[in-house]
Amino acid sequence: MADKAQQTIVVDGLALAQDIRKQLAEEVSQYASQGRRAPCLAVVLVGDDPASASYIKGKQRACSRVGMEAIEKLLPATASEQEVLQVVNDLNHNDAVDGILVQLPLPKAVSAYNVAAAIDPEKDVDALHPTTAGRLLLGEATELAACTPLGIMAILKHHGIEQEGANAVVIGRSNIVGKPVSLMLQRGNATVTMCHSRTRDLQSVCRQADILVAAVGVPRLVQADWIKPGAAVIDVGVSNVDGVLVGDVDTEGAMGIASIVTPHRRGVGPMTITMLLRNTLAAYRARTGA
Ligand SMILES: NC(=O)c1ccc[n+]([C@@H]2O[C@H](COP(=O)([O-])OP(=O)(O)OC[C@H]3O[C@@H](n4cnc5c(N)ncnc54)[C@H](OP(=O)(O)O)[C@@H]3O)[C@@H](O)[C@H]2O)c1
């Protein structure tokens, strides 16, 4: 039986994201008033996956709302790796482009690693280039870092969640969420355990977590009795169950146990796009000396 004695804060990721976007918009508008061009994000979409197309539209909309430019490069699903690399190379050499994001997943014939490795690290706003990822691994300062993990760290900071000495458990070991967020938590002096599909007795491991990050994609995997009383619970997962979006955490069950919990809507998602905007502005500043 879960111990329910805690006031749980449901994180308003949208409100936090809007606050940060307002600051970004102010900075962009200051550059405009100095006669500088707007920061520009290039998004590359290969194929016609409707979910990817909708993510790209969301990113473009977010850019224009803070006064940034967004350009789109569309390639057919039949595009070869060479063709995708050529587009990336052209964007690398386009001085008016500050950030390049290649929407994943890519068609099977195209290596996501090769494409990420072809992006100029100065424009690597999705932080998947081996140099960007390697800098995080090696503990070097990085202006650009993975967007969802940056968003998670901003949520923890906003809610005053102590990382120093905390037990952090991350479920999922993807390159875009699980691995980088584990490294960031470790950098914050948490003791980090990384879990995945072969982890034994996941429930007991999760019960030890002061900070629990679920980035899995299994609907409501984390149940109430997996959560340590007072834990900060970050639900990254998004699954579509019969047309309804569901997270990795039983949010209702977490109420009264967790200290904070992110809902699967208006939680981590808006922060991810916000951190993409933040990275694009950081790349712009570094490239133009603004
Ligand atoms: N809200 C956002 O902004 C945002 C951003 C990114 C991703 N997401 C969502 O987050 C979820 C994860 O995506 P991702 O790309 O990070 O990861 P992913 O590449 O989809 O990999 C899933 C991870 O979960 C692990 N896993 C699968 N089933 C498991 C189980 N039953 N128990 C424990 N671990 C299990 C896998 O383990 P193995 O490595 O052993 O296979 C893998 O490491 C998805 O739902 C995705 O849509 C949301």
What pLDDT shows up at residue 242? 94
pLDDT at 141 exceeding the cut of 90: no
- Alpha helices (H) along the chain: 13-33, 50-65, 81-92, 112-118, 130-137, 147-158, 178-187, 202-207, 251-254, 268-288
Residue 177 predicted with pLDDT over 90: yes
Taking the C-alpha atoms of residue 129 and residue 131, their distance in angstroms, rounded to an integer, is 5
> Model confidence over 85-97: pLDDT tens digits?
999 999 999 999 9
Instruction: Specify the pLDDT at position 2.
Output: 60
| 265 pLDDT more than 60 | yes
Q: Quote the mean pLDDT of the chain.
A: 96
Cβ contacts of 137 within 8 Å, gap of 6 or more: 183
* Predicted pLDDT of residue 6: 85
pLDDT of residue 263: 96
- What are the tens digits of pLDDT across the range 3-14? 677 899 999 999
Structure letter (DSSP) for residue 232: E
63 CA → ligand 1 middle, Å: 26
DSSP-derived 3-state class of residue 24: helix
d(CA 159, CA 122): 31
Answer yes or no: is pLDDT of 1 > 70: no
Rounded CA separation 135/143 (Å): 10
Taking only the tens place, the pLDDT of each residue in 40-49 is 999 999 999 9
Q: How much is the pLDDT for 142?
A: 85
pTM for the model:
0.97
DSSP state string for 74-92: EE-TT--HHHHHHHHHHHH
Residue 201 bears catalytic tag = no
Q: Is 175 in the pocket of ligand 1 (CB under 6 A)?
A: no
Range with lowest mean pLDDT among 27-36, 82-91, 136-145: 136-145
Q: What is the pLDDT of residues 220-246, one digit of tens each?
A: 999 999 999 999 999 999 999 999 999
Which among 185, 179, 175, 124 has a CA at the least distance from the CA of 152? 185
Q: Which single residue is written with the structure tokens 């019960």?
A: 207
Question: Counting beta carbons within 10 angstroms of the beta carbon of residue 221, is it exposed (0 to 12), middle (13 to 18) or buried (19 or more)?
Answer: buried
For ligand 1, atom 2, the nearest C-alpha belongs to 269
Task: Choose, from 98, 120, 126, 210, the residue flagged as catalytic.
Answer: 126
